[in-house]
Structure 1
Amino acid sequence: MTNLPAQITVVMAVRNAAATLRDAVDSILHQTLAPAEVILVLNGCTDESQSIADDLAEGNKRIRLEKTDSTGGVAAAARLGCALAKSPLLARMDADDLSHPERLEWQYAALRENEADLVTCRVEALNSQGAGLDRFIDWANSLAEPEDFRRERFVESPVIQPGVLMSREAYQRAGGYRVEDGPEDYDLWLRMLADGACFVQAPGARLQWRDSATRLTRSHDDYSEQRMTATKARYLARLEKVRNNGVAIAGSGPIGRRLAGLLLAEGVQVHGFYDVAPKKIGKTALGLPIWAAGDLLAKINSPVLLGCVGRGGRARVRSLATTAGYREGDDFFACC
């Protein structure tokens, strides 16, 4: 990746963003490392977004306008924009966010320095609607090195999409965005990581990520917890050790049971659950045994261990797993 020229196409899917579109585009046009082109994909807009986009593109040869209907949603819009990009590097941006003037310059420097395939940036919330988003951003901002992204990839989506710079080659090699039920961005990151892509963070780069009650990740079924968990299960089931050894799940609560059910549907052997609640130990969930957490040391049948105890218990499960000899990212994964 070190020889990739600083030629960047910014792809922005636009859906009824009249109130914020002009500022978003302005923030990306006035980068210290100017993009070669900005592709605005109007995705079934019914407000004034089209006329604003026309005005922005008039006299500016770097701005290119495309259209899709709303059927395929943001995934289809992003896929179209990336397919039409002429540059070797692709940056994503949302029509209601703001990029710091040096964002692309810092990300390009990090891509070259680390020979990376994808570079994230640090994100700040605009008008945060709750503590949950703030916790997610803090967690995503903590991922900086390639091993962080690989280790944490089944906790949550490890990349905040509108803050991405990536090589077009790595994007295409993984198959690009796909239009299907579920989070199109998380699906792409998991495929890229499975393909061996190197992810890093450019800590100097910044994105202001606007939150609202109508933001897709809050309002659309594709980004629901159920769809996220189904995506995790699909890619966990493709891991060789998971296929060969099956899994044991730390946590027999709703999250663990849901993941277990999805893995069983994928044909994965689920050996059982570990739990700390005395009243659960010795009973069953989904017809599978529940063992005491201390039995992690036994590594029953050497299955891959999946931690499903929520953010508050993640550190405890990691400690138990490390003591038991599990290697995170190989035979142990935190999954929430």
Structure 2
Amino acid sequence: MPAPVVTVLLPARNAETTVARAVESLLEGTFPDIRVLAVDDGSTDGTQQVLQRLAAQDHRVELLDGGGRGLVAALQLALAHTHSPYVARMDADDEALPRRLEASVEALEADPRLAGVGTGVELFRDDQPVSPSLQSYAAWLNGLTTPEALHRERFLESPLCHPSVCLRRDALLATGAWEDGDFPEDYALWLKLIHAGYGLKNLPEILLRWRDSAQRLTRTDARYAKRRFLWLKAHYLARGPLTDGRPCSVWGAGPSGLTLSRFLLQEGIRIERYIEVHPRKVGTRINGIPVVSGAELGPPGRGLLLVCVGVRWAREELRADLTARGWVEGTDFLCAA
């Protein structure tokens, strides 16, 4: 049997109440040339039996035993059994809308620069309304519909919804795909692909219903803590925009700016100054680094300015002000909240 065009990697652990709908939503889609590789990752409920039934009913579903070794190991196992040109992700509690894979393949076929695409997402919960902060994140993510926009925003938050993506298998293999470690595996993959020169973007269509719950790994696993995201940002800033040895200034001496700075210093990056609006901080030193006011910023060209402002409206105001003053985003400054 020839390899399908898309193989969907679907790890599942204790998801007996949701995994059938997740798989069925893929099988009911408008792109039939797929294979769903479901990995039972050590479930103690009826997940394995549900997946066995689905595999018996449809030859496009296959079941692998992940042995309870975790998400990344499950993805690595499934990828090793994949031979299709495109590899998609799916979580066991989400729902793909009909055109998800068809639209993803169309986009990848149309633009060979892209290593992968995500889709627009619709958040939902069974028990309560989705939080405003998560809704705001989804709205931001849904707006990253060009490689240029996603590249510009890559150091803010994870710019793709992991279970919505469809990726070129060759790009995954060339960069080492998912890696296990003390960091969020999906954000690490996006930064690694971009660092290798690949493009990524989100499709404008809402093509995934993305479930939020109190049990999500992003809420329960320390690898998804904010400081681990900041560590990844520092790691790739040091190997990308700051690899030329330029000093950097950090706008924002709050918790995010100081944590990012500590990781940058560990990477050997020289931080020249902090820029702050808080009057009690201006004129002081933090770990020996002077804190100056925005009025003392001066013209561009002195180094790279990292804007570590977490409040979105404030960051957008600052971004617009810097641009109006001749600072070029991506060359003179980057947003890295």
- TM class, shorter-length: over 0.9
**Counterpart in the other structure of 1:192:** 193
Separation of aligned partners in 2, 1:320 and 1:265: 31
2:296 counterpart SS class: helix
Query: For residue 244 of structure 1, what is the aligned residue in structure 2?
Result: 245
Q: Is the 2:4–2:35 Cα contact (8 Å) retained in structure 1? A: no
In structure 2, the residue matched to 1:74 is 71
Q: CA deviation at 1:298?
A: 3.6
Please report how far the alpha carbon of residue 240 of structure 1 lies from its aligned counterpart in structure 2 after TM superposition. Answer: 5.0
- Structure 1 gap segments, 5+ residues each: none
Distance in 2 separating the partners of 1:35 and 1:93: 16
The residue aligned with 1:91 is: 88
Does 1:316 find its partner at 2:314? Answer: no
Which residue is 2:26 aligned to? Answer: 28
Q: Secondary structure at the match of 2:90?
A: strand
* SS of residue paired to 2:87: strand
1:106 is aligned, of 103, 106, 109, to 103
The 5-angstrom pairing of residues 6-21 of structure 1 reads 7-21=5-19
State TM-score, norm by structure 2.
Answer: 0.93
Counterpart contact for 1:242–1:304, Cα < 8 Å = no
Shift of 1:122: 0.5
Equivalent position of 2:121 in the other structure: 123
Amino acid at match of 1:85: T
Decide whether the 8 Å contact of 1:282 with 1:291 is kept in 2: yes
Structure-2 separation of matches of 1:58 and 1:330: 55
Query: 2:44 is aligned with what amino acid?
Result: T
TM-fit CA distance, 1:205: 4.8
Listed as ranges, the gaps of 5+ residues in structure 2 are none
Cα drift, residue 180 of structure 1: 0.7
**Which residue in 1 is equivalent to 2:233?**
232
Distance in 2, matches of 1:36 and 1:254, equals 45
Residue of structure 2 in register with 1:307 after alignment: 307
Equivalent pair of 1:21/1:49 in contact (CA under 8 Å): yes
TM-score by length of 1: 0.94
Matches within 5 A, 1:38-77: 38-71=36-69, 73-77=70-74
Q: Whole-Å Cα distance in 2 between the matches of residues 133 and 292 of structure 1?
A: 32
- CA-CA distance at 1:211 after TM superposition: 0.3
Whether the 8 Å CA contact 2:231–2:260 is kept in 1: the answer is yes
Aligned residue identity for 1:33:
F
Q: Deviations over 1:195-248 (max 9, x none)?
A: 111212222351000000011111111111111111111111112535510211
**2 CA distance for matches of 1:296 and 1:266?**
24
How far apart in 2 are the matches of 1:195 and 1:83?
A: 22
Structure 1 pair 205–103 and aligned structure 2 pair: CA distance change class (3 A): farther
- Residues 331 and 42 of structure 1, relative CA distance in 2, 3 Å threshold: farther
- The Cα of 1:316 is off from its aligned counterpart by 2.4
SS at match of 1:333: strand
Task: State the distance in 1 between where 2:22 and 2:6 align.
Answer: 17
1:6–1:302: structure 2 CA closer, same or farther, 3 Å change rule? farther
Cα distance change of structure 1 residues 209 and 295 upon mapping to structure 2, 3 Å threshold? same
Deviation at 1:305, TM superposition (A): 0.9
Q: Which amino acid aligns with 2:307?
A: G
Q: Aligned partners of 1:262 and 1:304: how far apart in 2?
A: 16
In structure 1, the residue matched to 2:259 is: 258
Deviations 1:158-184 (A, max 9, x none): 011000011101111121000111100
Q: Distance in 1 between matches of 2:130 and 2:181?
A: 27
Q: Deviations along 1:134-191, whole A, 9 cap, x unmatched?
A: 1110110010001011100000000110000111011111210001111000000000
Equivalent residue letter for 2:276: D
For 1:202 and 1:101, locate their aligned partners in 2 and report how far apart those are by CA, in whole Å: 14
Preserved CA contact (<8 Å) 1:296 1:324: no
Task: Tell me the SS of whatever aligns to 2:302.
Answer: coil
Provide the secondary structure at the position in 2 that maps to 1:245: coil
RMSD: 1.7
Partner of residue 202, structure 1: 203
What is the Cα deviation at residue 324 of structure 1? 4.1
Quote the Cα distance in structure 2 between the aligned partners of 1:101 and 1:52.
Answer: 22
Contact 2:242–2:269 (Cα < 8 Å) also in 1: no
Aligned residue for 1:237, secondary structure, equals helix
**Amino acid of the structure 1 residue aligned with 2:107:** A
Q: What number of residue pairs does the alignment pair up?
A: 330
Which residue of 1 is the match for residue 278 of structure 2? Answer: 277
- Deviation, 1:36, is 2.5
Structure 1 partner of 2:147: 146
Asked if the contact 2:276–2:293 (Cα under 8 Å) also holds between the matched residues in 1, the reply is yes
CA distance in structure 2 between the aligned counterparts of 1:103 and 1:28, rounded to whole angstroms = 8
